[in-house]
A and B are shown apart, each in its own frame.
Chain A
Amino acid sequence: MTATGTARVRVRLFARYAELVGRAETAVSVTLPATVGDVVRRLRDEVPAARALPERPLAAVNLRQVKLDARVQDGDEVALLPPIAGG
């Protein structure tokens, strides 16, 4: 069954993305059904500085990397990840 209604999603930003946007965390609301890509678009619409982010960033939902067409639910944590550079 497809969820309907509105989801409030926590959005976290890291490293260079946090610097570009000027914050490490925010929240957006999206109409369900919604994807991570919808969250990114909503963020770019609502936060002017977020337009500096790539349109298709690496992303994670609830601590797991996902593609941008992954579905989100109310209460999810969506993280936008700069290119990974650890080690």
Chain B
Amino acid sequence: MAYLTRSPISLDTLLGEVSAPEHGGTCVFLGTVRNGPDEQGVTAIEYSAYEEMVEVEFGRLLDDAGGRWPEARIAVRHRLGVIPSGEASIAIAAAAPHRAQAFEACRFVIEEVKRRIPVWKKELRVDGTATWVDPSGRPTARPSDLHA
């Protein structure tokens, strides 16, 4: 299973992977590149990854989700490369017999992605600067600050 892509994410493909007559609820999460007041002119984010580990860790993550919601079917894609603001970097589709399971499974997957999938992002700004981003969304420390 390839969870990574360098192309725009096709939501139709993801939905096709999880749809089934017995699934009455489908929850979709899209994470998109943000350029809000706090981002100071972000035109795009460049995503990179430990790609071999991402593929196996996504498999483990979905196994964990399957253990919690055995009736759910979940599909996920994470996009790499330079992604313009407004476009999706990750998409998750979770389908289940009832909506509560679908919402819970979808939320579980994105929270676990943030915790354990080795992907990194560098914000690219309109002024030509680029900044690695830490998990809280703030720029990382300068190298000289690392020992502080």
Which residues of the other chain, B, contact A64 by a CB distance below 8 angstroms?
53, 56-57
Q: Which of A52-81 contact B (CB under 8 A)?
A: 52-55, 60, 63-65, 79, 81
For residue A1, CB closer than 8 A to chain B, the reply is no
Across the interface, do A16 and B120 meet the contact criterion of CB distance under 8 Å? yes
Across the interface, do B143 and A86 meet the contact criterion of CB distance under 8 Å? no
- Pairs A–B under 8 Å by Cβ, sample size 8: A12-B50, A14-B49, A14-B50, A20-B143, A84-B117, A86-B49, A86-B89, A87-B117
Interface readout for A22-59 with B: 1 if CB under 8 Å, 0 if not?
A: 00000000000000000000000000000011110000
Taking A15-B132, A84-B118 as given, write out 9 further A-B residue pairs in contact, using a Cβ cutoff of 8 Å, ordered by the A residue number: A14-B50, A16-B120, A54-B146, A84-B115, A84-B120, A86-B47, A86-B49, A86-B121, A87-B90
* Contact partner, B90, options A14, A63, A81, A86, Cβ 8 Å: A86
Across the interface, do A86 and B53 meet the contact criterion of CB distance under 8 Å? no
Q: Nearest chain A CB to B112's CB is how many angstroms away?
A: 10
Which residues of the other chain, A, contact B133 by a CB distance below 8 angstroms?
85
Which residues of the other chain, A, contact B119 by a CB distance below 8 angstroms?
84-87
| A65 with B52, Cβ < 8 A, contacts A85-B134, A87-B89 known | no
For residue B114, CB closer than 8 A to chain A, the reply is yes
Which residues of the other chain, A, contact B90 by a CB distance below 8 angstroms?
86-87
Binding site for A on B (CB under 8 A): 31, 47-50, 52-53, 56-57, 78, 89-90, 110, 113-122, 132-135, 140, 143, 146-147
The CA of A31 and the CA of B140, in the complex, are separated in Å by 34
The CA of A83 and the CA of B118, in the complex, are separated in Å by 8
| A83 with B48, Cβ < 8 A, contacts A14-B118, A54-B146, A63-B56 known | no
Across the interface, do A86 and B132 meet the contact criterion of CB distance under 8 Å? no
Across the interface, do B115 and A14 meet the contact criterion of CB distance under 8 Å? no
Q: Nearest chain B CB to A54's CB is how many angstroms away?
A: 5
* Contact partner, A84, options B52, B89, B110, B114, Cβ 8 Å: B114
The CA of A81 and the CA of B118, in the complex, are separated in Å by 7
Which residues of the other chain, A, contact B146 by a CB distance below 8 angstroms?
52-54
